[in-house]
Structure 1
């Protein structure tokens, strides 16, 4: 195949994976770009029952086929042993269902973005000889992607030097992670963005993100130091705390006018546009957005993720001066003081923003769909 010229029109595509926003949002971005290029393309998602994709994918306008797959317990000893039986049973059922669905739909290509449902679907595609393209978001590859990538045509990565995780894959392409197109179109520091949150353009804005589900450590650390943030006259805060955390936190911060607590931020383009500093977990999707937009950040990697991949993600930015990292175990004492110190030194924020921007790949979604077209069957 001539990779410089070959490009297939897409009319039937499966995108598989999910579990968290870190997998779902990239998958939807890829689907949107395919639909932009080929409005008549039939795009089908495959996800896991009971996971976030079951609601978010249909809400975005795409059909989804759900598998009864689940993850294996991360605990040790008897807990992990007893989880093997339902895990194996559901994996068998999921693989069989995936094979039936893939055989019936007969896609030109199957795209895997990671998550519980990705492995059975990509294994089914390999069984029928259908081309597979894998999108790996993290700097430390997940187990599912390492398994299915052995027979994939291509792995699209967000970080360089990923060959060590995929030694058998013919093509490793540095594309970056997909980000929402609206983020790139919003004017920085626009009055409309400030108006969305009823904030003042004359104050600095701290944006606190805990991922789509909220982050307990970040929420607890912010709450414990809320007075330091609330009584700083030149500062205002947008705090995304997660749906499950909102009720308890709202009662404790409602009297602070400068603290704008939200369960979920739907207008992320406007939130990023007015942020002077971001506090966040170190999920791959968020990091890709921060670098594409050139935003300074303090990253608090979650310790409860596979292969500690968030620490690897964060370290890749820290090594290049594009972020600071506060370990989860030290967030209670260090997070807010570090943020206030940075906001008091705008030149440090500016240097970090420049370094982050240099790492950004804002056209990642287009690059990934280019690869999907190259490897899809006619």
Structure 2
């Protein structure tokens, strides 16, 4: 659900510029639809039975009819049917988020975040102006007060567990093995995303564990809780990683899906995370040793946190809006 959150933050920033409200087009998903409607934005939902080529045909028809200033497409990867059918309608600026390699020709502007690397750069490729790197990571402006808020407390006690809006890998249950079998005491906070399909089953499983845990149903401001924890255990989504970087919180990261393995590898080299994302959907056996080591040597938390060193400043959306203003009909 990270794409939905990012798109909502961008839409809200554009609304603040007295723009006409953005219209959202999403595949059928109740949690995502609720988030968009909660933001008060117009919404069109594509039924799951629609094929990719049918969806992109409807998208083309809508742009042809309404000639919107921008068509902003936010997706990590698209099937070939999308690319072969996507038309560029004159008068509309096509903007891509996290565009796959070799697909820039479909767009006028592209914001790559950390898809390709952690280096900031601007260049033109296939006629598309490309902006990449942590400077363009999108996070809510509401998170800025929590920049640099993590503090070393001399121990590892409070652990925040957060595995994305849907927790599709069921990490909320899989990490239980360590905490149930550890002789150490931790104060745990588990965030269950709004799209978590088995929320009640997860709650029941944790209740049977007799662990000291606070379970939150979603968290509108995850950086607040990151700053309060001694350690974060999370999935390696780009949004979560950028929030960890903003707060300066140390973390152990897992991969719910394959591209998160790439994210974890990049950030483990340049930021304050320990990479436990060896296999998508699995809690690697190294997780147990990493937790034990940090608990026994909590000063390593401080060393990890220092590695963030201002990697991101939380101003990505502001930069993107300024670029859109420069190119569009504002």
Band the TM-score falls in, shorter-chain normalisation = 0.7 to 0.9
Distance of aligned partners of 1:40 and 1:244 in 2 relative to their CA distance in 1, 3 Å threshold: closer
1:34 partner SS: helix
Report the counterpart of residue 279 of structure 1 in structure 2: 233
Structure 2 residue 7 is the aligned partner of structure 1 residue 47: no
Mapped partners of 2:125, 2:19: distance in 1: 36
Gaps of 5+ in 2: none
Mapped partners of 2:320, 2:222: distance in 1: 23
Deviation at 1:299, TM superposition (A): 1.1
Mapped partners of 1:57, 1:49: distance in 2: 12
Contact 2:95 2:108 in 1 (8 A): yes
Deviation at 1:367, TM superposition (A): 0.8
Mapped partners of 1:66, 1:244: distance in 2: 19
Give the counterpart of 1:61 among 22, 40, 57.
Answer: 40
Give the counterpart of 1:249 among 186, 202, 207.
Answer: 202
Deviation at 1:272, TM superposition (A): 1.7
Deviation at 1:248, TM superposition (A): 2.6
Give the counterpart of 1:108 among 51, 69, 73.
Answer: 69
1:261 partner SS: strand
Q: Map 1:296-307 to 2 at 5 A.
A: 296-302=250-256, 304=257
Mapped partners of 1:220, 1:142: distance in 2: 32
Report the counterpart of residue 136 of structure 2 in structure 1: 176
CA deviation vs aligned residue, 1:80-108 (integer Å, no higher than 9, x gap): xxxxxx7xx72333233212322332211
Distance of aligned partners of 1:215 and 1:124 in 2 relative to their CA distance in 1, 3 Å threshold: closer
1:112 partner SS: strand
Contact 1:298 1:323 in 2 (8 A): yes
Mapped partners of 2:124, 2:163: distance in 1: 30
CA deviation vs aligned residue, 1:245-269 (integer Å, no higher than 9, x gap): 3323323332635222344334424
1:26 partner SS: helix
CA deviation vs aligned residue, 1:34-72 (integer Å, no higher than 9, x gap): 122x1353322222233643222111221112234x6xx
Q: CA RMSD in A?
A: 3.4
Structure 2 residue 51 is the aligned partner of structure 1 residue 99: no
Report the counterpart of residue 226 of structure 1 in structure 2: 179
Structure 2 residue 96 is the aligned partner of structure 1 residue 134: yes
Report the counterpart of residue 270 of structure 2 in structure 1: 320
More helix per residue: 1 or 2?
A: 1
- Equivalent pairs counted in the alignment come to 315
CA deviation vs aligned residue, 1:144-200 (integer Å, no higher than 9, x gap): xx53x313122112234699x98424322133211122222248479xxxxxxxxxx
Mapped partners of 1:178, 1:351: distance in 2: 26
Mapped partners of 1:122, 1:351: distance in 2: 48
Mapped partners of 1:336, 1:223: distance in 2: 11
Q: Map 1:1-378 to 2 at 5 A.
A: 21-36=1-16, 38-50=17-29, 52-68=31-47, 90-114=51-75, 126-136=88-98, 142=100, 146-147=102-103, 149-159=104-114, 160=117, 167-174=125-132, 175-186=135-146, 188=149, 204-216=157-169, 218-228=171-181, 232-233=184-185, 235-242=186-193, 243-254=196-207, 256=210, 258-302=212-256, 304=257, 308-326=258-276, 327-328=278-279, 331=283, 333-377=285-329
Contact 2:232 2:249 in 1 (8 A): yes
Distance of aligned partners of 1:225 and 1:203 in 2 relative to their CA distance in 1, 3 Å threshold: closer
Gaps of 5+ in 1: 1-20, 71-85, 191-201
